[in-house]
A and B are shown apart, each in its own frame.
Chain A
């Protein structure tokens, strides 16, 4: 089945540092999404990417959808303590012929920010 490989699994950084995480897939996705999950909460959408090569920003977050539609990265600049959480990439292939409406999630990157 479709799988997303997300790395790194965890990161420990100092407040103010920049962070980068990425996802790769053997399958093509039409939409690539980045979510953040706080403890005991559901995933919250951060950024959605729809076009191959697209670079999108949301405040201190920047994400890019790879040209091949098989990878994406998420950057967080000038990290702050509230950035702590688990970040998931997710792929959606609905627009593909015979595509599924489900989201396929990566295993997550756990981010710890030391003040």
Chain B
């Protein structure tokens, strides 16, 4: 069964450093998403991306965050200057169309900011 692949599975970074989280969505999917989950909390929407641009973002997704689809297969989330409160699981998801039934999540990247 097709999968959404995320790398790395765990990243530890110093506060203030830039991190890039990588995702390979399912190959024929067109809509891409990032969500995060702070330990023990609910999953929260960050951003949606379609046709090489952001289609929607949450208030969490401030100027420190950016997304990119650099080469037609990868979908990245960059945090420019990490803060302690950015520590969380970050999930990438993709779907063929905007119908939520086809929403597939990756296994996540655990980001720890120290």
Residues of A within 8 A of B (CB): 31, 33, 40-45, 48, 88, 90, 92, 94, 100-108
Q: Do B105 and A100 touch across chains, with their CB atoms under 8 A apart?
A: no
A-B contact count (CB 8 A): 55
Chain B stretch 33-75: residues in CB contact (< 8 A) with chain A: 33, 35, 41-45, 48, 55-56, 58
User: How many residues on chain B are close to A (CB under 8 Å)?
Assistant: 25
Q: Is the CB of A92 within 8 A of B106?
A: no
Given contacts A42-B106, A88-B43, contact A103 B91 (CB under 8 A): no
B-side contacts of A106, CB under 8 Å = 42
Contact between chains at A105 and B101 (CB < 8 Å): no
Asked if residues A103 and B42 are in contact (CB atoms below 8 Å), the reply is no
**A to B CB contacts below 8 Å, 26 in the list:** A40-B107, A40-B108, A41-B107, A41-B108, A42-B91, A42-B93, A42-B107, A43-B43, A43-B91, A45-B101, A45-B104, A48-B100, A88-B42, A92-B100, A100-B56, A101-B56, A102-B33, A102-B48, A102-B56, A102-B58, A103-B43, A103-B45, A103-B103, A105-B43, A105-B44, A107-B42
